[in-house]
Each structure stands twice: as structure tokens, then as C-alpha cells.
A and B are shown apart, each in its own frame.
Chain A
């Protein structure tokens, strides 16, 4: 698996051509599954669907079933969340799912094991979504090796902003996983360009200043902001945090390359079980099929 992003495309004419021919005119550059998926989405002129799942919530058996179902429902990338005891960027829903998973005794290895099982039936790209401490605790290289062996394609550390830990970031950039970077509404335009240039696979734009959690409304400025990030980014842009309904997905999908849906799926899992969550997933999927970013 090869990855795109920094290093390969950062400077010079390659970066230029990437900016204009982005997402689907990658020439002969070898790509990872994430890049391939986004290239295909662009070619098919539709927006991507990225569901988030907390590993082990409410049980590992549910996660297993949910992952397979989401792949079948047409998820383009799946974010597999490693539950953490102190999820400081998360609202009540994902706090609850993380604590629930930990109460079940879910470990990092359990999360990798369900991913490895998914790989028996699906090659949908999977990004490991984790707070830094479980990664640090295991040892970065060991964590990476286990994740790669299990079939992960990317890693998204919530609490590792650009420049926070250059040696650690370099290790993650050099590894076979795509290091997906986050951009927030508070990020300055200059830093948006830096982060987008350093990200791998895709760029994650945080839809609001705040923590995760389902919302009734998206902010009015979101579409314009996502467009600005997209214009500054050589990579596809996914938007998440608060995206909850098919209507939201359509709005996001018209401005960005993909929509990430987390808390709303967890809420639906609570109310309607795996079947309910998959029903919402299919609604979101078809809504995103109807739109594509301009």
C-alpha cells in the first residue's frame, strides 16, 4: 500500500498538477485504498460516505455486524474508533459509546481483531480513529504494525495537531498508514494550507467549533468554509462533527468530497440496533449519491 500526501506531492510541479488535476488525475502514482476510493468517487461524480463506529459498542459482536453491514451499504471509508477513557474532543454520545465499550472490556487488540475479520469480506478503506495515549502506550511502531496487519489504511489521532510532536508525526507520516489531519473552523488560512499539505489520504474538516455530537442544524457558513478548505487542499476533504441527517449529508456533499457521520449513527444504534443504524447509513449513502462537490 502506497500513500499520497506530503513527501510525494508537497512541492514543485507535482503539487501544482495535483492541485488542478486533483483527486482523479494522479497519473501513474501508486495509491492506497483511500486515494483509490476518492478517485473513484470523483470519477462517478458523487460524494463519499464515511461512517464512524466505536469499536466494542455496545459489544464487539455488534461492531462486527455493523462494520460488515456498513461496507455492504456502500461506505467509502470507515472510521473505526478506539474507545478511550478520556475523550476530550467528544460530546455525550461518543463519551457514552467509548465508556460502554471499555465497560465491556474492549481492548485495542479487540478493535484490530474486528477489523481483521472485516477484511475477510471487504476491502473498504478503514481509518483508525484514536486519542494519542493508546497509541503512545503500545509504542507507536508496534501500534502501526498491528494496525497494518489488521488491514487498516489510515490513522486519525484526535489530539495530535500539526507540529505537536515532530518525531512522532514523522514516524506516522513514514508508515504505511495514511496520517489523516484535522482542520478546524478556528484554523488560520495559512495553517489550513500547511495542514492540508501535510495530510495524507484526505483532510478532515471539523464542521463546528466544539465537540462531536448530533445536531438538528448545520451552521450556515459551513458550506462556504468547506469550499475554502477544499480550494486550499491538494487532497479530498471530508466534513464531520454534527452531520446527522440525509439533508445535512446533501448539504455537505455539495461542498466537500465526503461526509463523516458518527454520533447520529451511535444514537441510532442505541435506539434501533444494528438494523436501525444500517437503515440510517443507507439513507445517508443515497443522499450522498445524489450530490457531488462542484
Chain B
């Protein structure tokens, strides 16, 4: 950290400098919100403009060229801890910026967003980055008329939210009513005579209304499963097992959580039963069943469940 000064030398009112016709033109245009360069005899455009070509020392041509205001970062240096004299009070970059149409770069501060003091430069800060000046509202004719440069807009955020009033429908309500009483309800198709669970009101295969409500036991068999290792805030803690369970008497499987056993010990053919939450926590939701857990019964052979996989 710089130490506090114990002596200050300051010319009252500041020095007055005549800027001459070339820099004067640059500053006047800055005050109007424009970036201007000057052409050299060799055809190059210098920004900021100078009265002379720095390569040949010859006078520049007096032909002024409007450049930018957008430009490209040619190199940069990151300032993780800005000093109080710096143009920004949060981490920023000093950058050499070549305005479009210019052959030289000018130095300015580049604001790339909000970062905590000491932060590392963001990955998107790169040589080649496209930037534009942020003009001050009140301009006086100086390089400070540009507050800083900002990256060009490459992405916008589009918040999206839909609100619904959903109804589950008669069949689902009936199923959830059953679950709220600790019962698992299915329904039987009059054509294929299979029991569909959770009850649907129709047979998806035959396309006909079901005709008979069937209460199913809470026991079944794991037909097949996945061990999920990808964490998600909405999912159970990994590893968790999502399994297809064929309830005894059902014609098709249900996708459920299988727990109460290490994930690597779950098997095809394993017998399981529903693990219900305490009765006082029940509602009209499948969450009443926490998961399915192993039953102390021998596994079914694969042949017995093969047709349900």
C-alpha cells in the first residue's frame, strides 16, 4: 500500500496548456462525442492525432478522419486493486484500444464488470475483444470525456416465466386420493386386461377407457435401473438409484427411487416394497412414498421380468 504523503506541492489552479490545432481538433471532437484521427503522408491514421508522423517526423497531412467509436483491444493489463487516483473503483484493465479505421491504439480504462477487489481477470478479457467508449453526459473537451471503454454487447439475458393454473384431471385426482390414504391405485384395460399404474383412465396401447379400479400391493420387483451420479439441486443426493419397479399384479413398471441399500447392491429382479413417510406427513402426493426399499425375499430370475424391460 502507498504511504500517506507528508508534503504536497500543487500549482494553484493547474497549468494552462495550449493544445495546438491537431490535439485541439481531437479534444473538440471528443466534446462532441466523436473520436478523430489524422492521416500521415504514408496514409496511416493516427489516434490520438499528432502534428507529426512519429516514424518520419514529417508533418501529418491535416486530413482528419472520424474513427471508431468501436475498437479492438490490442493488449491489456489487469488492475486487481485500483488506487484512489484510478478512473474506476473496482478491478479493471488498462487497455490499448485500436479504434476501427485507425492504425494506432489509444490507452484507456476498460470496465469489464463488477469484480471483488483482488479478483483475477475474467476469461473473456482477451486481446481482440471488441469494445466501445462510454461517454460522459457532461463533456469538457479532454480524454476524460470518455469515462472508460465497455465490451460490445454479445449476449442479453432473457428471463422467462410462465404461470399456470393446473388441474390434474379426474383420474389423477382419484389416484392421489388413494395415495393420501396409503393406497396405490391402478386401473384395468378391458381389452388387454392389463393393470395400469398409476391409473390413467385409458389404456395407452388400446386407446380405450379403463373400466375397473384395482388396488395394488405395495410390493414389487426391480426390472432395471440406473445409478445416477450427476448432482442436481432438485434430485436426491448422489449416487441415487432410479429404478423401474413392477408392482405385483401390474402390467407395467413405474419409475421410482430405490434406497435403503447401497447403490452398487441394487439388482435386476430384486424384490422391494414401498417405504411410506409417517402418516402425519401424508398429502395428496406421490411424495408420501419416500422410495422403494429391499424386501427380505429371494430375487426373481431375469426370465420372469424380461418381458417388462
> Do A and B make up one complex?
no
Q: Which residues of A contact B (CB under 8 A)?
A: none
